[in-house]
Amino acid sequence: MNRTKRKMRKAEVVGNILKNYREENGFSLEEISQLLDIPVEEIIQWEEGKKLPPLDYLEKLDKIFKFGIDRILKAELTEVTITLTIPKSKSVDRETS
């Protein structure tokens, strides 16, 4: 069997991290869209790795999920088969914007 390893682009790595934090903390795309005051389609593009979120939105997301923005900024290219360990936030403030 011939397997090819594909490297993920930084946008894909960041998108996976953001999607996992959103889902693990029980937020819908619509809720995040409202908190950030942007269209759902924009968040979908981030989560699918089609584009990186601007820094000001990463800062807002960090306030919501407390993932440590440095983790996102230092995201390295990795193989597609990555495993993310994401701790659930103990107190997620849905009013943070």
Express as a percent the part of the chain with pLDDT over 90: 49
CATH number of the domain bearing residue 31: 1.10.260.40
Domain count for the chain, please give it.
Answer: 1
Which residues, at least 6 apart from 50, have a Cβ–Cβ distance to it below 8 Å?
11, 15
Is 42 domain-assigned?
Answer: yes
- Give the DSSP letter of residue 69: H
Judge if pTM exceeds 0.75. no
Lowest mean pLDDT among 12-16, 30-34, 69-73: 69-73
Is 80 domain-assigned?
Answer: no
pLDDT range class, residue 95, cuts 50, 70, 90 = low
Express as a percent the part of the chain with pLDDT over 70: 68
CB-count burial class (<10 Å; 0-12, 13-18, 19+) for 12: buried
